[in-house]
Amino acid sequence: MEILNNFSEIKVESTVDKIIRQIRDQISSGQLKPGDRLPSERMLSDRFGVGRTQLRDALRKLEFYGILKTRPQSGTVVAGLGIPALQGLMTDMLQLQGNDFKSLVESRIILERNIAQLAAMNRTAEDLIEIQMACKAHEDALARGEDAIGEDFLFHLKVADASKNTVLKSLMLIITPDIAQYFKKHNICADDHQKVVGEHRELLDHIVHQRPEEAGSCLTRHLEMIANYVNELKEKSFLDSNGNLIES
């Protein structure tokens, strides 16, 4: 019946999402500010009335999206993400619908190409160390047989840091996680890990030697797998006529 199209599935919020929402609200209201350290896991677990495993899952998810950051000997602190970007990101993160997936992917490619070019122009010595560490973390995760989606995202985030453009970084933080979450949900990752590793290293080399055009072209090739996947979805009618993702 056509009337059914007016209704949508009711999704019950999980314990992890409730923890994330409370932390988000504390940051949005200004009660938690960039640089503030969170209480210990034990204290937070007791306060929320949840197990350590659920709390850690929530904290890891927040760290994955760049909202929290773990520092040696300092614990978990709030990252310096702008409030508007944070609110937009958390909405996408908790209510992923997959709408207009093709446009989302196209936007990421355009956005990150410019980020890579700016990173090659503006990077500092400290940025290079951070990108190199993220590159190695990604390679180590692949060597352990993991999907390394989180580590791959962190590498791209460090490149965005090096661009010195906070607006582009905030946009990337809003766009990229939706794509990463979809790929993780459907267990989709690059088959040729050595190709991905090689492209990361090539991009890093262009950034090190400050070659913006080459960095942009390398990034476009690097994201070609995502673009090809979207085209395959379109051919298999998993995207509607407007490019929206049809969730199974």
Q: Which domains does the chain have, with CATH numbers?
A: 15-84 (1.10.10.10), 96-235 (1.20.120.530)
Find the mean pLDDT for residues 97-109.
70
The pLDDT, as a whole number, for residue 191 is 62
Give the pLDDT score at 127.
95
Query: Both ends of the chain: CA-CA distance in Å?
Result: 19
Strands 75-78 and 68-71: antiparallel
- CA–CA separation, 72 and 80 (whole Å): 17
Least Cα distance to 224 among 188, 193, 196 occurs for: 196
Task: Record the tokens describing residue 25, joined without a space.
Answer: 């609200």
What mean pLDDT do residues 209-221 have? Answer: 95
Percent with pLDDT over 70 in the chain: 71
pTM of the model: 0.60
Say yes or no to pLDDT of 144 above 80. Answer: yes
At 23 the pLDDT is: 86
As a whole number, the mean pLDDT across the chain is: 79
